[in-house]
């Protein structure tokens, strides 16, 4: 049954990037991600209660997981009226898998045998792989596969098949969306949405309170506490989109190619002080791994705690008394954590200097990120089966720590190729154990996703990495 549409335009604000075309290969901000995800459908996404299918009806492997078959809905049309066919999915995967034009996402498709990928019929695609990938549904197909029409040539006002069309795009990260009347799903209630870049959390909440916007995305814990009893707005905390906050030490560059220094950093940090001071007690202590509370997380490992004496000795043994840190508020609290770290390292005899990068510029320079010895970093909390191949190992999509030892690669590859779920879990536990002991990720805490919106904004639902489903929102009078 088609839902009754009540209309209205949602004014949605979040951290914005430098602005450009709506190119699924190069999305640098959460604001641009929301615009893109409204204009383009996905094969599927991870939801709070499991897999949420999009244009895919099913995605299944063969017996040894060297080939995946995708069956598509037959009622999907792009905004120009053209029906979705399997060749469009093949084009989408090649589009994302091109190393030259899609440097951030190409590694996720490196196992695909592009030459042999073929449409069986209009709504069935076979994806052959160069090696077994029993994890491919979680780690690739349902992680990030926007559906792009074959031969797309306009990414300013792109031709997607999603619940909204792009009406205007000034390339400053502000996008006007209008309802797609022909969407295959339940008709969105909204007439449209406008995405508005406001990079400062305090400015976002003030814009909401003054009535300039309807929805403020990704706010600081301090704002969440200050406004939680405000009757004029609704504050919501969500595990979807919760983030692991920390510091990345690049294991391929001095001085963090020295394992003693990585261990010293992990022992010098006061995690509880970070959670109390930065998150105001609204988070959980991290243990240098992602996936806390999710299936496959290695909770057998001991919780690291501060050992100032041992840290001081390791810094001295490594000959380190000064360090520099690149910091950016790409997630609420990262700059405050950097400032706390200055004092904590000083207690271990190390002087830390901070170089702050504007948040709207941080992820626009991947070459700088991948060559920086020490920097703030956050990751959306995802299960290990998704996080590990994306951010660690020699085949990672994006590996800011450059951690890729042969032992880790072996454990991860075994997990990816193992069909038996129990055996696969054991390989994942082993991979996490190696990362915990030797890696360059210092995850000190987890912060919930904090949202605030006006009371007339109803039916707010999130999916995947904290993506707000504009198609579900209803504006009440």
Torsions phi, psi for 250 (to 5 deg): -80, 110
Q: What is the pLDDT of residue 36?
A: 95
Secondary structure (3-state) at 189: coil
Tell whether the model's pLDDT for residue 454 goes beyond 80.
yes
Both tokens of 465, joined, read 């990495």
Largest CA distance in the chain: 69
Span between the terminal Cα atoms of the chain, in Å: 23
Which of 97-106, 137-146, 264-273 has the largest mean confidence?
264-273
Q: What is the pLDDT of residue 375?
A: 98
Listed residue (6, 179, 26) closest to 105, CA to CA = 26
Question: In whole angstroms, what is the distance from residue 150 CA to residue 69 CA?
Answer: 19
Both tokens of 131, joined, read 């090696």
Tell whether the model's pLDDT for residue 109 goes beyond 50.
yes
Residue tagged 């069309």 (tokens) = 165
Q: What is the pLDDT of residue 219?
A: 93
Spatial contact of 63 and 72, defined as CB atoms under 8 Å apart: no
Q: What is the pLDDT of residue 80?
A: 97
Question: In whole angstroms, what is the distance from residue 350 CA to residue 364 CA?
Answer: 30
Q: What is the pLDDT of residues 156-207, one digit of tens each?
A: 999 999 999 999 998 666 899 999 999 999 999 999 999 999 989 999 999 9
Tell whether the model's pLDDT for residue 282 goes beyond 90.
no
Q: How confident is the model at residue 208 (pLDDT cuts 50, 70, 90)?
A: very high
Question: In whole angstroms, what is the distance from residue 466 CA to residue 448 CA?
Answer: 10
Secondary structure (3-state) at 10: strand
Torsions phi, psi for 76 (to 5 deg): -100, 130
Q: What is the pLDDT of residue 360?
A: 79
Within 10 angstroms of residue 294's Cβ, the number of other Cβ atoms is: 15
Tell whether the model's pLDDT for residue 332 goes beyond 90.
no
DSSP 332-393: TTHHHHHHHHHHHHHTTT-EEEEEE--HHHHTT-HHHHTT-SEEEEEEE---HHHHHHHHSS
Q: What is the pLDDT of residue 108?
A: 87
Tell whether the model's pLDDT for residue 212 goes beyond 90.
yes
Structure-model confidence comparison of residues 373 and 200, the more confident one: 373
DSSP 273-299: HHHHHHSTT-SEE--S-S-TTSTT--T
Q: Which of 1-5, 251-255, 360-364, 392-396 has the lowest mean pLDDT?
A: 1-5
Tell whether the model's pLDDT for residue 419 goes beyond 50.
yes
Question: In whole angstroms, what is the distance from residue 177 CA to residue 214 CA?
Answer: 15
Q: pTM of the full predicted structure?
A: 0.83
Cis before residue 255, ω within 30 degrees of 0?
Answer: yes
Q: What is the pLDDT of residue 410?
A: 97
Residue tagged 């009806």 (tokens) = 57
Q: How confident is the model at residue 364 (pLDDT cuts 50, 70, 90)?
A: confident
User: Residue range 379-390: average pLDDT?
Assistant: 91
Question: In whole angstroms, what is the distance from residue 467 CA to residue 341 CA?
Answer: 31
Spatial contact of 29 and 173, defined as CB atoms under 8 Å apart: yes
Q: What is the pLDDT of residue 370?
A: 93
- Mean of all residue pLDDT scores within the chain: 93
Q: How confident is the model at residue 2 (pLDDT cuts 50, 70, 90)?
A: very low
Q: What is the pLDDT of residue 172?
A: 61
Residue tagged 């992680």 (tokens) = 143
Listed residue (387, 379, 437) closest to 412, CA to CA = 387
Share of the chain above pLDDT 70, in %: 97
User: Residue range 97-120: average pLDDT?
Assistant: 93
Q: What is the pLDDT of residue 16?
A: 84
Q: What is the pLDDT of residue 46?
A: 87
Question: In whole angstroms, what is the distance from residue 143 CA to residue 431 CA?
Answer: 20
Q: What is the pLDDT of residue 1?
A: 33
Name every residue whose Cβ is closer than 8 Å to that of residue 302 and which is 6 or more positions away in sequence: none
Q: What is the pLDDT of residue 17?
A: 67
**How far does Cα 243 stand from its chain's mean position?**
9
């Amino acid at each position: 049954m088609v839902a009754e549409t009540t209309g209205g335009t949602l004014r949605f604000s979040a951290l914005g990037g430098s602005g450009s075309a709506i190119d699924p290969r190069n999305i640098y901000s959460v604001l641009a991600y929301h615009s893109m995800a409204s204009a383009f459908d996905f094969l599927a996404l991870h939801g709070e209660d499991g897999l949420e299918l999009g244009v895919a009806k099913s995605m299944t492997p063969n017996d040894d997981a060297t080939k995946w078959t995708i069956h598509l809905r037959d009622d999907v049309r792009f905004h120009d009226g053209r029906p979705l066919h399997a060749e469009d999915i093949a084009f989408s995967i090649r589009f994302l898998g091109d190393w030259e034009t899609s440097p951030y996402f190409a590694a996720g498709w490196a196992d695909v045998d592009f030459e042999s990928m073929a449409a069986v019929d209009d709504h069935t695609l076979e994806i052959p792989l160069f090696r077994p990938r029993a994890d491919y549904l979680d780690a690739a197909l349902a992680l990030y596969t926007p559906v792009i029409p074959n031969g797309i040539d306009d990414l300013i006002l792109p031709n997607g098949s999603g619940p909204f069309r792009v009406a205007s795009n000034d390339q400053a990260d502000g996008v006007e969306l209008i309802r797609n009347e022909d969407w295959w799903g339940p008709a969105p209630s909204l007439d449209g949405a406008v995405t508005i870049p406001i990079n400062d959390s305090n400015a976002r909440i003030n814009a909401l309170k003054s009535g300039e916007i309807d929805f403020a995305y990704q706010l600081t814990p301090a704002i969440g506490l200050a406004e939680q009893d405000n009757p004029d707005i609704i504050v919501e905390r969500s595990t979807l989109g919760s983030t692991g906050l920390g510091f990345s030490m690049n294991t391929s560059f001095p001085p963090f190619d020295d394992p003693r220094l990585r261990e010293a950093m992990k022992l010098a940090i006061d995690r509880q002080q970070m959670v109390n001071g930065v998150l105001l007690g609204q988070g959980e202590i991290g243990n240098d791994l992602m996936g806390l509370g999710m299936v496959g997380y290695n909770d057998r490992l001991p919780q690291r705690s501060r050992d100032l004496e041992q840290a001081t000795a390791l810094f001295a043994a490594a000959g380190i008394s000064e360090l520099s840190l690149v910091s950016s508020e790409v997630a609420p609290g990262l700059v405050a954590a950097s400032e706390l770290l200055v004092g904590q390292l000083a207690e271990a005899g190390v002087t830390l200097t901070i170089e702050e990068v504007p948040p709207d510029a941080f992820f626009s320079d991947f070459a700088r990120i991948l060559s920086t010895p020490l920097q703030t970093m956050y990751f959306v909390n995802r299960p290990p089966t998704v996080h590990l191949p994306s951010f660690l190992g020699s085949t990672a999509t994006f590996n800011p720590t450059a951690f890729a030892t042969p032992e880790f690669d072996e454990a991860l590859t075994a997990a990816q190729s193992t069909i038996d779920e129990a055996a696969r879990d054991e390989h994942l536990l082993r991979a996490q154990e190696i990362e915990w002991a030797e890696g360059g990720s210092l995850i000190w805490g987890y912060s919930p996703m904090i949202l605030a919106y006006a009371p007339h904004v109803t039916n707010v639902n999130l999916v995947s990495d904290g993506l707000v489903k504009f198609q579900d929102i209803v504006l009440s009078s």
